[in-house]
């Protein structure tokens, strides 16, 4: 490569001030070394690809109209107007947008065809005590995409972390205490009251909770009921058939006996869930929901069992006229339900505002939201469980189609 005055010479990775190089670069380095350090210093490595006839006096200024940049890596185009020489020693990153000045041409083999590739960012770490500022070129005609002010106040529900075993145990213990408090307030006149679960009264619902604990603790019991339910209730779905077999095993038990049994078994069930092996947790089972036909056993153990008890506690409170207490763990249950909704959402995105102590603000679906929907957190989870298809939802702004889609949404409980 030529190295005469007025033409650039490429500097290799092993360049040293005493080795062969462009005279302009040597002069500029000498000039820069004589200046005291400042936070705004423009390091010479950013314009090493460009040709200069002498030291560049404005290397401590950021790029701008009077200090243009060529777009090659992070180099700086000097006022001399000479084009930068191609770098044959390493591939150059493609640009997403056109730079204010014309980018350099490069070999086709070194350019990625991906439209989402990003400009190169230097990974060279600054030494301690240095004040090296890195500037990033952007197009004057196409500014970088920024999130709208509205979406910045919402959380992407699909990015919420999934419940792990330890958090599941804490939530399960708290929800178990809340459920036992509701069960212990049931009177003799409450056991035959209807609930929001079709064909289930209060006593049948509590027997389902007891049988759920037995299934978690004993896998043989769960498998027996699975086989029995499929054989005796072939007209029902797998989930409904299994629950019918659960209830049938406790038809002779009294209400107070069921409450005492649940208070004994639920803490054991919470501990048993955490002991299930990883191979079993990775297996998948039918969920009974068309939007998410299958789910992992780990998701069932860590999330769905707590959510199911939370919803049945709400069913019992509504059936018997008790108040529904919302604690610290309730928000986590609401978040996980909203997360499952976002992961299976295939319609137009919308922003969801859930009010109340367990509420929050989330984005459902990828992309800019087409509407903002508001509802009470507990009320909307009843709708997600299919308890109330006519749940009152408020359309704050946006399209009616998004409101209707939010009302039709369902998740596994």
Mean per-residue pLDDT of the chain: 76
The gap from C-alpha 241 to its chain's centroid, in whole angstroms, comes to 34
7-11, 246-250, 310-314 — which is least confidently predicted? 7-11
* pLDDT recorded at residue 34: 59
Position 80 pLDDT exceeds 60: no
Position 171 pLDDT exceeds 70: yes
Q: Could you tell me how many helices (H) and strands (E) the chain has, helices first?
A: 12, 7
Structure tokens given for 193: 């009251």
pLDDT tens-digit series, residues 323-350: 999 989 999 999 999 999 999 999 999 9
Position 16 pLDDT exceeds 60: no
Q: pLDDT band for position 64 (50/70/90)?
A: low
pLDDT tens-digit series, residues 344-376: 999 999 999 999 999 999 999 998 999 999 999
Strand partners, 194: 201
Q: Domains in the chain and their CATH numbers? A: 1-105+127-137 (no CATH), 156-408 (1.20.120.450)
Q: What span, in angstroms and rounded, lies between the C-alpha atoms of 403 and 284?
A: 32
Burial-class residue 70 by CB neighbours within 10 Å (0-12, 13-18, 19+): buried
* pLDDT recorded at residue 275: 95
* pLDDT recorded at residue 238: 86
Count of CB atoms situated within 10 Å of the CB of 26:
15
Sign of CA dihedral 373, 377, 379, 385: positive
CA separation, residue 101 to residues 54, 65, 93, 105, 138 (Å): 22, 10, 16, 12, 10
Q: pLDDT band for position 239 (50/70/90)?
A: confident
Closest CA to 213 of 253, 160, 264: 264
| Cβ pair 160, 352 in contact under 8 A | no
């Amino acid at each position: 490569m030529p190295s005469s005055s007025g033409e650039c010479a490429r500097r290799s990775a092993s360049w040293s001030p005493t080795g062969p190089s462009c005279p302009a670069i040597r002069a500029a380095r000498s000039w820069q070394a004589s200046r005291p350090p400042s936070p705004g210093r423009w390091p010479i490595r950013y314009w090493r690809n460009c040709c200069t006839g002498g030291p560049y006096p404005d290397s401590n200024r950021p790029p701008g109209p009077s200090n243009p940049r060529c777009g090659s890596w992070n180099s700086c185009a000097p006022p001399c107007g000479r084009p930068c020489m191609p770098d044959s020693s390493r591939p150059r990153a493609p640009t997403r947008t056109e730079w204010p000045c014309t980018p350099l041409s490069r070999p086709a083999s070194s350019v990625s065809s991906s439209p989402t590739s990003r400009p190169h960012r230097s990974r060279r770490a600054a030494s301690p005590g240095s004040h090296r500022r890195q500037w990033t070129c952007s197009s004057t005609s196409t500014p970088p995409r920024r999130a709208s002010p509205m979406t910045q106040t919402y959380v992407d529900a699909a990015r919420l972390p999934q419940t792990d075993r330890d958090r599941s145990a804490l939530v399960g213990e708290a929800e178990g205490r809340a459920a036992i408090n509701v069960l212990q307030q049931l009177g003799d006149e409450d056991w035959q009251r209807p609930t929001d679960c079709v064909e289930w009264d209060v006593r049948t619902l509590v027997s389902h909770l007891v049988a759920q604990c037995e299934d978690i603790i004993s896998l043989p019991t769960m498998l027996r009921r699975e086989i029995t339910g499929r054989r005796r209730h072939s007209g029902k779905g797998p989930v409904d058939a299994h629950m019918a077999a659960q209830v049938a095993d406790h038809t002779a038990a009294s209400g107070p006996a069921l409450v005492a049994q649940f208070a004994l078994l639920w803490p054991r069930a919470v501990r048993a869930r955490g002991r299930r092996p990883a191979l079993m947790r990775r297996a998948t089972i039918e969920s009974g929901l068309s939007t998410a036909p299958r789910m992992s056993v780990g998701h069932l153990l860590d999330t769905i069992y707590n959510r199911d008890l939370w919803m049945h506690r709400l069913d019992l409170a509504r059936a018997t006229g008790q108040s529904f207490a919302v604690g610290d763990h309730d928000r986590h249950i609401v978040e996980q339900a909203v997360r499952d909704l976002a992961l299976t959402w295939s319609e137009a995105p919308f922003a969801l505002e859930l009010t109340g102590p367990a509420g929050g603000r989330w984005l459902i679906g990828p992309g800019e939201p087409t509407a903002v929907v508001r509802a009470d957190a507990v009320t909307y989870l009843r709708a997600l469980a299919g308890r109330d298809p006519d749940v009152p939802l408020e359309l704050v702004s946006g399209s009616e189609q998004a409101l209707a889609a939010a009302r039709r949404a369902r998740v596994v409980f």
